[in-house]
Structure 1
Amino acid sequence: MDANQDELSNPFGMDEDCTNCPALCETREQVVHGYGDVGADFMFIGETPGAGADGTGVPFTGDETGRALLSILRRLGLCGSAVNSEEPELANAFLTYTARCRHPERPPTDEELGNCEPYLNAEIRMINPEILVPVGERALEEIGTEYTTTPVEELDIVDDHATRIRGRGFELMPMIVPDEQTDEQTQTFVEAFSALMASDYRQTKGRRGR
């Protein structure tokens, strides 16, 4: 973890009482900002908190999706705690969402994603990761549109799962939602990401020292 970091949860002190989306204020338990190592090379970005993260306040915890992702991170050496941890020990990984509040009956609207975009952009700017991992189709569309030159209609989470996509200052490696993956798809991602980690993946973009 970054030696100068004080907090894993919402390390940049973003607004935890955000009211930009009135409909979500009525349904959420809490705002779920990013969590993890602020010096991370790898940022995992989901669409929106599930019921588990809405309860814990920590992305990708408290439900099957979170446990499946943390299992993958453990295999990659990026998580040192149990998969059911509500405060996982992460190294070189940061977890976040494109939308920060949960609606139990629907995905976020385009307007709600737009309201949350400054939070995600700020996290990406301050962490300056090397690899963005969009988790799921909607996250791939949002991240791909913003950070690659690939037309959004050419992006497909199944076809692009565990493949490297060149971006604007970043590389993307999309991931199918972890608890929707087959065992083969999980193994494919672990092998591909392990190979990426062993490669010279760092960009020449003036990263701060770790």
Structure 2
Amino acid sequence: MDANQLDVSNPFGMDTDCENCPALCETRTNVVHGYGDVGADFAFVVDAPGPGADASGIPAFHDAGGDRFRRILERCMLCASASPPEAPELSNAYVTSIARCHHPERDPTDEEVGNCEPYLNAELRMINPEILVPVGDRVLSELAVDYTTTDADALSVDEHHATSVRGRGFELAPMRDPAEMTEANADEFVAFFAELMASDYRQTKGRRER
């Protein structure tokens, strides 16, 4: 699977007609795959698409908390403030999700998240980021199983927001759900990110040249 960086929306050309979850095929408008810089050091992983992401085909930015999420990325110098709302211009950041289809009345089931796992794994394998940013408690729990040596039950986004969690091949930097965080929480993450950027966060993983 090759990336097309000329297209920042679904740059890996993943299936936009996926029928792995029959109950979601009629409720969704778009299969919402990842968005952003395929050479990114930072991969932000969010929960299932809400109505805004379902309509736009872009995860996170048009859902609840999307404005705060964008402001955080702008303050971290990962999103160009001058880019249009409908097409955020990301640099060194990729945004994706644990589930790809919207249901207007419920969260995705564990089975549905499992059906989407190959998409997420393929994206992370291709991008090979240095830092995974799980956004929200469910995402942190899902990623902890495969990407950390820590018991998922021992991790909570309330406790680990804006901190580093050692992972398997990746470092995790959990973030509270922007729809639920305070401005103080946002400031904490931006300050943490500034310290992270000032550190030698890149690991020796055989990364390709950017």
- What's the counterpart of residue 74 of structure 2? 74
1:68·1:83 contact (CA, 8 Å) conserved in 2?
Answer: no
Name the structure 1 match of 2:55.
Answer: 55
Q: Identical aligned pairs, as a percentage?
A: 63
- TM-score for both structures, normalised by structure 1: 0.95
* Partner of residue 193, structure 1: 193
Contact 1:164 1:173 in 2 (8 A): yes
> May I ask how many residue pairs the two structures share in their alignment?
207
Residues 33, 58 of structure 1: 8 Å contact kept: yes
Question: In the TM superposition, what whole-angstrom CA distance separates every residue of 1:15-44 from its partner, at most 9, and x where no partner exists?
Answer: 000000011112111100000000000000
Distance 1:122 1:44 in 2: 15
Question: Aligned equivalents of 1:184 and 1:83: distance in 2?
Answer: 25
Q: Distance in 2 between matches of 1:150 and 1:60?
A: 26
* Aligned CA-pair RMSD: 1.3
Match of 2:143 in 1: 143
CA shift in 2, pair 1:107/1:141, >3 Å: same
What SS does structure 2 have at the residue aligned with 1:96? strand
Contact 2:133/2:174 (<8 A) preserved: yes
Residue of structure 2 equivalent to 1:104:
104
Q: What secondary structure sits across from 1:190 in the alignment? A: helix
Contact 1:67/1:84 (CA < 8 Å) preserved in 2?
A: no
Partner SS, residue 179 of structure 1: coil
Q: Tell me by how many angstroms 1:183 deviates.
A: 1.4
| Corresponding position of 2:168 | 168
| TM-score with structure 2 setting the length | 0.95
Deviations 1:45-73 (A, max 9, x none): 00111111100001112234221111100
Aligned to 1:34: 34
Equivalent residues in 2 for 1:95-134, closer than 5 Å = 95-134=95-134
Unaligned runs of 5+ residues in structure 1 are none
Q: Quick one: distance in 2 between partners of 1:43 and 1:145?
A: 17
Partner of 1:45, secondary structure, is strand
Distance 1:51 1:77 in 2: 27
Q: Compute the displacement of 1:179 (Å).
A: 2.2
State the SS of the aligned residue for 2:44. Answer: strand
Residue aligned with 1:11, SS:
coil
Q: CA deviation at 1:6?
A: 1.8
Deviations 1:133-182 (A, max 9, x none): 00001100001111001001101110010110000010000001112111
Q: For the Cα contact (< 8 Å) 2:83–2:89, is it kept in 1?
A: no
